[in-house]
Every structure is written in structure tokens, then in C-alpha cells.
């Protein structure tokens, strides 16, 4: 079964420091992978996605993620944290449902705090 594990429910970084949010996936087929961000009491916004091709994916707000098949990972990084990056981040993998359609299965989320 395809699934996603996010390591660390809470991560704190200092402003200007590297942001690293970890995501490992389990998939029996080549995965399509997504990172979403959620600000308090709002919906989810797509940060970036990996489908095929280049394994280093650049997204919005300076974030990027690298697909590593050998490590079954899709970690999210940003070189320098900004106060506005404080939010909850969700990793997701596309799965094939029993009805023959595709769905997303989400990790439990990582809440990022940025310390001034």
C-alpha cells in the first residue's frame, strides 16, 4: 500500500537558518509526490510537485524538494527561513484507488515554527 511518513510533527528553526522537512514514501509504482502548505484556519496551497523528469523540483516561496528513489524520500528544503514560513506542511503521494481513479494520501503534517 502506498503511504507517506513525515518525520517530526514540530520543527523549529531560527530566522535565516536552513529549513528541512522530511518526507518518506512507500509506493509500489513510480510515485507522484506533492508538498502543500497550510496557514492557520486556511486551506492547503500547493508548494511543489514531482511527477517525472528532473528530481530536484523548485516551488514557490523559495522552497525546493529532491526526489531520491534509493532513499524513498522527498524532503522539503529552503536555504533561509523567513517568519512568514511559519505554517503546517503536508507531504502527499498519489495513489490508485480501487475505483480506478487517482487520489492523494497525506502525511500527518509538520508544523514549522520560525524563531526571530
Partner 1 sequence: DGGITQSPKYLFRKEGQNVTLSCEQNLNHDAMYWYRQDPGQGLRLIYYSQIVNDFQKGDIAEGYSVSREKKESFPLTVTSAQKNPTAFYLCASSTRQGLTDTQYFGPGTRLTVL
Q: Which residues bind partner 1 (CB under 8 A)?
A: 9, 32, 34, 36, 41-46, 49, 51, 90, 94, 97, 99, 101-109
CA neighbor of 92 nearest in space, from 3, 7, 30: 3
Rg of the chain on CA atoms, in Å? 14
Q: How far is the CB of 110 from partner 1 (least distance, A)?
A: 10
Residue 46 · residue 89 · CB < 8 Å: no
Q: How far is the CB of 56 from partner 1 (least distance, A)?
A: 17
Cα(106)–Cα(2) distance, integer angstroms: 10
Cα(64)–Cα(20) distance, integer angstroms: 10
Residue number with CB closer to partner 1 (18 or 102) = 102
Residue number with CB closer to partner 1 (28 or 70) = 28
Residue number with CB closer to partner 1 (22 or 49) = 49
Q: How far is the CB of 16 from partner 1 (least distance, A)?
A: 28
Residue number with CB closer to partner 1 (14 or 39) = 39
**Eight-state DSSP code of residue 112:** E
Amino acid at each position: 500500500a502506498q503511504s507517506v511518513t513525515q518525520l517530526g510533527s514540530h520543527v523549529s528553526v531560527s530566522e535565516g537558518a536552513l529549513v528541512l522537512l522530511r518526507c518518506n514514501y512507500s509506493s509500489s509504482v513510480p510515485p507522484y509526490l506533492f508538498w502543500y502548505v497550510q496557514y492557520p484556519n486556511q486551506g492547503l496551497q500547493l508548494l511543489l510537485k514531482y511527477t517525472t523528469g528532473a528530481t530536484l523540483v523548485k516551488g514557490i516561496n523559495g522552497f525546493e524538494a529532491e526526489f531520491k528513489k534509493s532513499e524513498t524520500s522527498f524532503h522539503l528544503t529552503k536555504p533561509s527561513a523567513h517568519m512568514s514560513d511559519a505554517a503546517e506542511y503536508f507531504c502527499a503521494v498519489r495513489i490508485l484507488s480501487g475505483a480506478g481513479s487517482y487520489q492523494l494520501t497525506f502525511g500527518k503534517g509538520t508544523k514549522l515554527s520560525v524563531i526571530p
